[in-house]
Structures are given as structure tokens and as C-alpha cells.
Amino acid sequence: MKQLKLEIERVQSSFQTALMQSNSLEALEMTRVTFLGRKGEIAQLMPLLKDLSQDEKREFGPLLNVLKESSERAYFDKQTLLQNLEYEKAEESDKNFDVTAYKPGSVKGSLHLYTQATQRFEDIFISLGYTIADGPEVETEFYNFEALNIPENHPARDMQDTFFLKLPYMVLRTHTSPVQIRTMLTQKPPLAIASLGRVFRYEATDASHDFMFRQLEGLVVDKNISISQLLGTIRLFLGQFFEKDDLQVRARPGYFPFVEPGLEIDMSCPFCTKGCSTCSHTRWVEMGGAGLVHPRVLEHGGIDPKEYSGFAFGFGVTRLIMFKYRIHDIRLLHSADSEFLKQF
Ligand SMILES: [Zn+2]
């Protein structure tokens, strides 16, 4: 009997040692299985009772029960203690979570070429004393056509393939020129505005055409406005955008209903001095349209053409960007191709 007593004491003491050394929930679970499990050390003491006499059973039965119950209680206490510790540790590490910590492999973004170019254009025009003006992309036929001297049934309407909306007399603007009318109707001359934005044409898409592209528009109205002022402004603007001090512009006659005379603007090729593939070996590149504002357009803007005159010019922003950065497919500018976009 002495042996059973010793055995109980041994199990009790080794359980306490194991419990003390269980410093994690995993280690504690090992201790539980070893001592309190169905085949654990305490369970293995139980069968020894049945070989004892009634008196001995009365002595050792309660001893074994006490061992079992006190061990279980000690185990649960230790479990609660360890769980609380783990919870506090997690809370502490949450508190110290560093949102600015370096995350390997993260992708850095940059401004889209359109945004970069728009900011550059606006900087140039603001430095020249222009105001930046804006207008809606869904426009009335009046602002998009009639007011710009393109009456209904006029052949000039066919020059721009238009998206007509189901709403009566509403279109997606085919150029940024309606902003000219909107500005003249709300501001008194002298005025100088630049407007940038998206325009829409009903066109099939290929490498050099898209149904949506961006335009840039300038309008100056004052007394005694001349073509030399117009050409000087365009030369300054293109020279700054292409970062060429010696950039030249030339004008050829062109037809745009809202200007008279109308001019096609060419600039000297910024990439060569003797001709290259970009300028088709001509040294000149077509850049946009311009002219003196048609008297009828001034009238539609509420301005007396006998007193005031004006000049206007328009460039394709998309074309300027493609040209400067030598992009050969317009669709790349509107794609989400990150390999393409991250070059800029
Ligand atoms: Zn060239």
C-alpha cells in the first residue's frame, strides 16, 4: 500500500513540475494529455484500487479523487492565465502596428500622362495670363454647332461625326469650342481663356483614331487682335511644351466654320534639323487649327464684332502627347496597361 501512496505522491509532484514548466498553451495541452488524459498518468492509477481491501479502498479512493480534482483545477487556472497573457500580447502588438512600415513588393503609382500634360498646359497658359475654363461634355446642339457658325444642314456638320443622344438637341461635344461661347456669354472682354477636356467622335478605333480624345482650346477677345499675336502665342506654347527655344510655326489656309480666316498650323519638327521619319522628311508637322474668331461667333457670344475681335486655336492634346513621347498607338493612352504607364 505504501507503494500506491508513493505512486500518488510521485504523480502529483511530477504533474506540478510539468504544469509549472508549461509556458504556452501548446505545452499546457501536452501536460494535460500526459496527466489528465483518458490514458494519462492519473487515469492509470485508478485500476490499482480494485486489488485493495475495503479499508484500503476507503483510504486511497478519496486520495485519488482529490489528486484528480485538484490537478484539473490547477490545469484550468493555468489555462486561464496563459490565455490572458496571449490576449494581452496580441493587444500590445496591435497597438504598435506601424502603418508606414515598408511593405516589400508594393507597386508605386505615378500620375497618368494625361494628368501630367494637363498640368503642364495649364501652367503654361496661366503663366501667359490665361484663365482656365471648363464646360460640360454633354452639350446642346446650339453650343456645339449653331453658335459656332455651323448651322443645321451645313456641310460642315459632316466634318465631325457626332454622337447624338436620345435626349432632344443633346450631343456629346465634338470639340472643346462650346466653352468659347459659354465664356463669352458670361464674361466681358478683354478675355483670355484656355480649356482642356475630353471630346467625342463617332469613329472606328484604330492606332491613330479613338472615339474619345482630348483637346486644348484657347480664345482671346480684345480690341485690335491680330494674326501675328495668334502665331506668337502658338509658337510660345508649343516651344514651351516641346522644350525647344527655336521652334518655328507656320500657317497655311484652312477651313473651320468658326474662324475667318482659318489657319492650319504646322510646327518645325522638334526631333531633327534635316528631316526624319517622324516628320516624313519634310521638317514640318501638322499640329492644329486656328484663326480669327468669325464675327458671327462673337455675335452668338454677345460680343459686338465691330468693336472687338479675337483669335482662337485648338490642338489635340492626345496628339501632342503621342508626338512628344513617341507613342504610336492612341489606345495605349486609354488602357490600363501598367507596363506602358509606368514608363512615364
Ligand atoms: Zn523630323
Query: pLDDT tens digits for 37-73?
Result: 999 998 888 888 888 888 888 888 888 889 999 999 9
Distance 284 CA to ligand 1 centre (A): 7
> Which residue range(s) make up the domain with 255?
113-341
**Selected residue with higher pLDDT from 103 and 31:** 31
Distance 323 CA to ligand 1 centre (A): 11
> Does residue 134 share a domain with residue 35?
no
Which residue is associated with the grid cell 479675337? 310
> What residues pair up with 310 in beta bridges, in sequence order?
221
Residue 100 maps to a domain: no
> Does residue 315 share a domain with residue 218?
yes
CA 77/CA 71 separation, integer angstroms: 10
Q: Average pLDDT for residues 152-157, to the nearest whole number? A: 78
Are the beta carbons of 263 and 254 closer than 8 angstroms? yes
Distance 322 CA to ligand 1 centre (A): 15
Q: Is the dihedral of CA 33, 36, 38, 43 positive or negative?
A: positive
| HSE of 172, CA atoms in CB hemisphere, 13 A | 14
Distance 244 CA to ligand 1 centre (A): 14
Q: Is 38 helix (H, G, I), strand (E, B) or coil?
A: coil
Asked if the model's pLDDT at residue 1 lies above 70, the reply is no
Residue 108 maps to a domain: no
CA 44/CA 196 separation, integer angstroms: 88
pTM equals 0.66
Distance 235 CA to ligand 1 centre (A): 17
Q: Is 198 helix (H, G, I), strand (E, B) or coil?
A: strand
Residue 172 maps to a domain: yes
CA-wise closest residue to 182 among 300, 96, 261, 271: 300
pLDDT digits (tens, 9 = 90+) for 291-328: 999 999 999 999 999 999 999 999 988 889 988 888 88
Distance 139 CA to ligand 1 centre (A): 38
Mean pLDDT score of the chain: 89
Which residue is associated with the grid cell 506540478? 16
> What's the structural domain count of the chain?
2
Residue 153 maps to a domain: yes
> Does residue 128 share a domain with residue 20?
no
Are the beta carbons of 311 and 262 closer than 8 angstroms? no
| Residue type at 36 in one-letter notation | L
